[in-house]
């Protein structure tokens, strides 16, 4: 049944055609980014004189280098604290059968139902009143808090499936709870930690609304906010804009092509819970 | 995300041993997560819900309580009616199109075709691209002299050229297509994970019993794929309900408010018009939609797994 027949051949050609249609927008994105400003040829035609100038200009005028660093700090900070805090919280919540721990777990899960839009305005106010507007710390705090429900849910599900014998052995050996968690439990949950790192990193690198609210107008911008401002400033210069867009998506695309096996597993696995 | 699955899979095992190892240190495990979560989600969500019953403008120190007035205003505001309609249209249309085509692609790249690995990588790539980059790219492609119209001209379908984002009736469908293009890879991957969990022997047994491809799909694959279908429907439905970035970038809700979603309307009311109370009421409506969608999904999943 699983042989390569002429039917499979037709299927292959059809699927490749679909993929080509999918790639056309990406082709145009790359193609236009190499065209000189005066090049009036069709969107599909190769550049008359391919140029890197758009990339140089976009990099220089858009402050993209700084923005990439800010995005890396924000994403890295959110991922780091999300993993540590979510794993720590999920551990007792998944191990204790007490009423308070079940209740606390449900409080975390309730967060999965709340759209960010509901918290948007009051949170903006609080961040402003605390003097955190325009700081990366503000975005990190908000990002970590918002990541808790999904990450704790994934960790708790994974930890429940772990046998408790290792921890009990560690406890008998005299390890206190923190030591048991850090040396025994945390290494054992490594697969789900990988999934959470990938999901949290992609979501926060690509996030636009949160940094737009908390960082726009300041000189601390993430890459999404920088690109948004850049397009506003250079409205019709698409060659320049597309070069800027490619610079902004290149880090994550490169990461994707190297890690695509794990990323796809992470997405599928994370969603299967 | 996959909330309902969440609750089910995490149901506590029946037999639970007593844990004494934590003693009094247990709060130190939970406290940092709880504090940040309450700060960033719980407390502002409660305050946001309360703002919906006031006329607060975001500045004045003493907003007054107006009861349900803001919600009544939604019903009489033509912009809000269009935004609610658009939000539901996007959510349902994206859910149907993205899942139907995502499933077809997953079936194709799960077959014996030789290029399957490359095709998976290509179809999934747009998922990792920032939504605002996707938005700007398609704004250009959709422009009157842009790539889509040039392509139609080139293949002899010049008569079909349109002002894709400028035509109020068409713009919302142009946006739906972009969301589909961006996220169909996501559906594909989840279906693929489900398909790979189906043992080959089951399909072979069905083939030996004389079931054709369609029959095999409907009677064998579809029921085994039920969890993947549920999760996919849930994700695209909730993602569609909350859609903001792509619309904000491509049309900013225009032309004339024709492509507003609840999310873009919340943003403009709060941050351009200073109507925090009204924006909060819209956010409460959005939350109700999301909650209803989640509860229905949870019920369906519970039924399926009985």
Does the beta-carbon distance from A118 to B111 stay under 8 Å? no
Could you identify the residue written with the tokens 């599928």?
Answer: A268
**Chain A / chain B CB contacts < 8 angstroms:** 298
Report whether pLDDT(B17) > 60.
Answer: no
Q: What's B65's DSSP letter? A: B
Residue A117's pLDDT band (boundaries 50, 70, 90)? confident
Residue B1 has pLDDT above 70, yes or no: no
Q: What is the DSSP string of B3-53?
A: HHHHHHHTPPPSS-----TTGGGHHHHHHHHHHHHIIIIIHHHHHHHHHTT
* pLDDT over 70, % of chain A: 97
- Nearest partner of B255 among B136, B146, B172, B177, judged by Cα: B172
Q: Is A159 on the interface with B (CB under 8 A)?
A: no
Q: Looking at the predicted structure, is the pLDDT value of residue B9 above 50?
A: no
A29 contact residues in B (CB cutoff 8 A) = 137
A160 alpha carbon, distance to own chain's centre: 26
Q: Cβ B22–A249 below 8 Å, yes or no?
A: no
Q: B252 to chain A, minimum CA–CA distance in Å?
A: 13
pLDDT at A166 over 90: no
Q: How confident is the model at residue A271 (pLDDT cuts 50, 70, 90)?
A: low
Q: What is the mean pLDDT of chain A?
A: 87
Query: Token pair of A48, please?
Result: 């008359």
* Residue % of chain B over a pLDDT of 70: 91
**Terminus-to-terminus CA distance in chain A, angstroms?**
32
Torsion over CA: A208, A210, A216, A218 (sign): negative
Helix (H) or strand (E) holding B176: helix B168-195
Per-residue pLDDT band at B211 (split at 50, 70, 90): confident
Closest CA to A83 of A185, A176, A168: A185
**Cβ atoms of residues B170 and B164 within 8 Å:** yes
In this prediction, residue B5 has a pLDDT band, given cuts at 50, 70 and 90, of very low
Please state the rounded mean pLDDT for residues A205-215: 92
Query: Which of B6, B30, B248 would best serve as a mutation to test chain A binding (most A beta carbons within 10 A)?
Result: B30
Distances in Å between the Cα of B247 and the Cα atoms of A63, A190, B131, B135, B276 are 25, 38, 10, 7, 21
CB proximity B42 to A under 8 Å: yes
B31-50 pLDDT, tens digit per residue, is 999 999 999 999 999 999 99
Distance from CA of B173 to the nearest CA of A (A): 17
Residue-wise pLDDT for B120-130, tens only, equals 989 999 998 99
Nearest CA in chain A to B14: A97
- For range A130-152, the mean pLDDT: 94
Residue B54 DSSP SS3? strand
Tokens for B87, please give them.
């939000």
8-state DSSP, A1: -
Contact list, A95 vs chain B (CB under 8 Å): 19, 22
Q: Is the pLDDT of residue B12 over 50?
A: no
In this prediction, residue A2 carries a pLDDT of: 61
CA nearest to A202 within chain B: B128
A271: chain B residues, CB-CB within 8 Å: 1-2, 190, 193, 231, 235
- What is the reported pLDDT for B41? 95
Please tell me the distance from the alpha carbon of residue A171 to that of residue A179, in angstroms, as a whole number. Answer: 9
Pairwise CA distance, residues B153 & A136, whole Å: 47
Q: Answer yes or no: do B121 and A249 touch at CB < 8 A.
A: no
Q: Is B142 an interface residue toward A (CB < 8 Å)?
A: no
Give pLDDT tens digits for B236-284.
999 999 999 999 999 988 798 899 999 999 999 988 888 889 999 999 9
Residue A2 sits at the chain B interface (C-beta within 8 Å): yes
Over residues A60-80, the pLDDT tens digits come to: 888 899 999 999 999 999 999
Q: Give the DSSP letter of residue B55.
A: -
Tens digits of per-residue pLDDT, A23-68? Answer: 999 999 999 899 887 777 777 878 888 888 889 988 988 889 999 9
Confidence class for position B4, pLDDT limits 50, 70, 90: very low
Is residue A224 pLDDT above 70, yes or no?
yes
pLDDT given at position B20: 54
Which residues have C-beta within 8 Å of that of residue A256, sequence separation ≥ 6? Answer: A263, B125, B128
């Amino acid at each position: 049944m699983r042989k390569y027949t002429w039917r499979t051949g037709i299927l292959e050609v059809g699927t490749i055609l679909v993929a080509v249609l999918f790639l056309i927008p990406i082709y145009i994105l790359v193609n236009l980014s190499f065209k000189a400003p005066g090049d009036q040829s069709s969107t599909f035609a190769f550049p008359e004189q391919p140029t890197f100038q758009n990339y140089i200009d976009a990099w220089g005028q858009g402050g993209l280098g700084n923005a990439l660093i800010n995005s890396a700090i924000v994403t890295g900070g959110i991922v780091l604290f999300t993993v540590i805090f979510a794993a720590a919280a999920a551990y007792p919540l998944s191990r204790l059968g007490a009423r308070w721990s079940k209740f606390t777990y449900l409080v975390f899960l309730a967060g999965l139902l709340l759209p960010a839009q509901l918290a948007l305005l009051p949170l903006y106010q609080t961040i402003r009143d605390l003097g955190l507007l325009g700081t990366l710390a503000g975005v990190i705090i908000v990002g970590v808090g918002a990541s808790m429900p999904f990450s704790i849910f994934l960790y708790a599900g994974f930890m429940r499936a772990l046998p408790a014998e290792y921890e009990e052995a560690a406890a008998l050996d005299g390890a206190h709870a923190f030591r048991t968690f850090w040396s025994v439990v945390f290494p054992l949950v490594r697969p789900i930690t990988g999934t959470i790192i990938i999901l949290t990193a992609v979501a926060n690198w690509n996030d636009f609304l949160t940094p737009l609210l908390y960082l726009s107008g300041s000189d601390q911008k993430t890459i999404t906010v920088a690109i948004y401002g850049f397009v506003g400033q250079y409205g019709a210069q698409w060659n320049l804009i597309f070069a800027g867009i490619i610079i902004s998506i290149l880090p994550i695309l490169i990461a994707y092509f190297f890690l695509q096996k794990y990323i796809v597993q992470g997405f599928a696995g994370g969603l299967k819970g | 995300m996959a909330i309902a699955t969440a609750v089910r899979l995490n149901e506590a095992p029946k037999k639970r041993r007593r844990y004494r190892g934590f003693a009094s240190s247990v709060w130190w495990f939970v406290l940092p997560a709880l504090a940040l979560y309450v700060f960033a989600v719980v407390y502002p969500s409660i305050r946001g819900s309360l703002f919906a019953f006031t006329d607060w403008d975001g500045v004045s120190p003493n907003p007054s309580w107006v009861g349900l007035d803001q919600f009544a205003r939604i019903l009489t505001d033509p912009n809000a009616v269009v935004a609610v309609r658009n939000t539901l249209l996007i959510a349902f249309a994206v859910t149907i199109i993205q899942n139907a085509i995502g499933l077809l692609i997953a079936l194709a790249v799960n077959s014996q075709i030789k290029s399957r690995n490359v095709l998976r990588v290509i179809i999934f790539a747009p998922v990792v691209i920032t939504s605002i980059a996707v938005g700007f790219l398609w704004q250009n492609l959709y422009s009157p002299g842009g790539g889509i119209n040039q392509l139609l001209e080139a293949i002899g379908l010049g008569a079909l050229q349109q002002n894709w984002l400028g035509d109020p009736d068409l713009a919302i469908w142009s946006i739906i297509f972009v969301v589909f293009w961006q996220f169909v890879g996501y559906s594909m991957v989840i279906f693929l994970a489900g398909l790979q969990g189906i043992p080959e022997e089951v399909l072979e047994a069905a083939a030996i019993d004389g079931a054709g491809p369609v029959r095999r799909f409907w009677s064998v694959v579809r029921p085994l794929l039920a969890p993947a279908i549920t999760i996919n429907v849930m994700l695209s439905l909730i993602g569609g309900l909350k859609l903001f970035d792509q619309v904000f970038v491509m049309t900013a809700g225009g032309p004339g408010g024709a492509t507003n979603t609840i999310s873009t309307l919340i943003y403009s009311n709060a941050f351009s018009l200073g109507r925090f109370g009204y924006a909060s009421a819209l956010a409460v409506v959005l939350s109700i939609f999301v909650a209803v969608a989640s509860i229905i999904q949870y019920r369906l999943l519970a039924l399926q797994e009985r």
